[in-house]
Amino acid sequence: MKQYLNLFDLSQKVDYKNEILSGLTVALALIPEAVAFAFIAGLSPLTGLYAAFSMGLITSIFGGRPGMISGATGAVAVVIVSLAKSHGVEYIFATVVLAGIIQMLCGVLKLGKFIRLVPHPVMFGFVNGLAIVIFMSQLASFKFTNEAGEFVWMQGADLWIMLGLVGLTMLIIWGLPKLTKVFPSSLAAILVISAIVLGLDIDTKSVGDLASIQGGFPPFHIPEVPFSLETLQIIFPYALIVAGVGLIESLLTLNLIDEITETRGRGNKESIAQGLANFITGFFSGMGGCAMIGQSLINISSGARARLSGIVASVMLLVFIMYGAELIEKLPVAALTGLMIMVSIGTFEWASLRTFRRMPNSDILVMVLVTLITVFLHNLALAVLIGVVISALVFAWENAKRIRARKYMDDKGVKHYEVYGPLFFGSISAFNEKFDVLNDPEEVIIDFSESRISDMSGIEALNKITERYSKVGKKVHLRHLSKDCLRLLENADDIIEVNIEEDPTYKVAVDKLA
């Protein structure tokens, strides 16, 4: 418990001013995002705002990555929108609770480490796609609802005012750090633009035009759904996807923040915290969520490095909902739009564009494909999964071509095959082609000092080759098998028959390996 009470568990000294100001900036940026994502899911704005509060607070205290911000996200909204339409908000709350349980189990089982299997091109594609999504989501700020109820683009003076305010916001965020870093540029931009709009009484879109954010403390509420197997069958597929999408986006964001801050977060601890946050959020009228890469980058770029910034952001968001809604609803959308556009520019991995002529074609394909799936399908989990699968297949194909065998006869008339490269499902065909069973002498030695058996397909291939020599009455020795290979062969003994002669130096028939 002591480790959770220590809110500032990074080794470096905490800058309280930066933490508090960064948290305030993030709280302001959370409002339009949470409202927008609630609309995407077909829910009321408060379900998104309540999720942003509870998710942010719990993960800031218990999470494995100080400085990372969690809340209601578009990735989760896209998953639950069909359930919201078909069964209503109560089933959403139940789904979020179940998703939280699944995520906590993933953390307890230490499955967070598998995020290391995500290749760099997939990370590039994920980040670039997300940057484009963040940018495209801001285009809605340049639209309005006309008298006919149609959502149309701004024109004339309204458009130029909006563009001017957004441009000025971006200029302040870009230019202020070059003059001073005493005050976060993002918060300064919001305050300056708000002062200009309110002081000059400029007619432009405000947060209140999106929706009212007035509310109270999130009410405790047990989801009103039948506790039956039928309900479980309805919500479990959604909960599984929400849990998977949430963990993937959170752990990828954690990795990104790790790279920026040159520190290391704890993936399994973050998985448990995300699960706990979703579990509690489902009981407090929230739509659920995960890590928010945009707000996390705002927080980190403002200088925050500890847990305090996330706690301040969550608490201030609740204060705005309960006591400051009237004031916050006057904030110009242009200021928040400019802030998020700068986040998208900072998020995009511009260095990835310079690697197009240097990276293998397969890596470029993976990066572009992940980016396109993220942009057009808004499905981060699917994008990452496809990227990992393609990368794995390419890796398997390249390694399948590396199997080699050097052949020679010794002075005793024994033929040696010195195998090079991994023996696994992709290389077994090439491996089998290396042997000339009918024309080989009576005794053959297959040396694995420069090779290893990687999977059950390799074991089966080894068994087949020894059977082929056995059928023609020839003796085969397997030598220099590594300990892990021997372990695989021992484990397979009850499944398939493995024909191995004892090696005079490296014994196969040894005490059972641990």
Nearest CA-CA partner of 333 in 171, 204, 189, 211: 204
- Spell out a b/e string for 307-316, using b for 16 or more CB atoms within 10 Å of the CB, else e: bbbbbbbbbb
More confident of the two residues 199 and 379: 199
| Average pLDDT of the chain to the nearest whole number | 85
Q: Write down the pLDDT at residue 1.
A: 40
- How far apart are the C-alpha atoms of 266 and 258, rounded to whole Å? 10
Tell me the domain boundaries of the chain.
12-352, 401-494
| Contact criterion met (CB below 8 Å) for 30 and 295 | yes
Q: Write down the pLDDT at residue 454.
A: 81
Return the number of other C-beta atoms located less than 10 Å from residue 339's C-beta.
27
Q: Write down the pLDDT at residue 101.
A: 97
Please write the tens of the pLDDT for every residue from 180-237. 877 888 888 989 999 999 999 999 998 888 888 899 999 999 999 999 999 999 999 9
Q: Does position 494 have pLDDT exceeding 80, yes or no?
A: no
Residue 328: strand, helix, or coil: helix
Residues paired with 386 in a beta bridge: none
Q: 35-40 long-range CB contacts below 8 Å, 24 or more apart?
A: 35/210, 35/211, 35/213, 36/74, 36/137, 36/140, 36/210, 37/72, 37/73, 37/74, 37/76, 37/77, 37/287, 37/289, 38/72, 38/77, 38/287, 39/211, 40/74, 40/77, 40/78, 40/81
In the chain, % of residues over pLDDT 70? 91
Please write the tens of the pLDDT for every residue from 127-157. 788 788 878 888 888 988 777 778 889 999 9
- How far apart are the C-alpha atoms of 460 and 426, rounded to whole Å? 13
User: Which top CATH class is 401-494?
Assistant: alpha beta
Q: Write down the pLDDT at residue 280.
A: 97
Question: What backbone torsions phi and psi does residue 395 show, to the nearest 5 degrees?
Answer: -60, -45
Please write the tens of the pLDDT for every residue from 263-312. 888 999 999 999 999 999 999 999 999 999 888 988 998 889 899 999 99
Q: Does position 374 have pLDDT exceeding 60, yes or no?
A: yes
Lowest mean pLDDT segment, chosen from 246-250, 363-367, 402-406, 484-488: 484-488
Question: What backbone torsions phi and psi does residue 68 show, to the nearest 5 degrees?
Answer: -85, 140
| Contact criterion met (CB below 8 Å) for 419 and 431 | yes
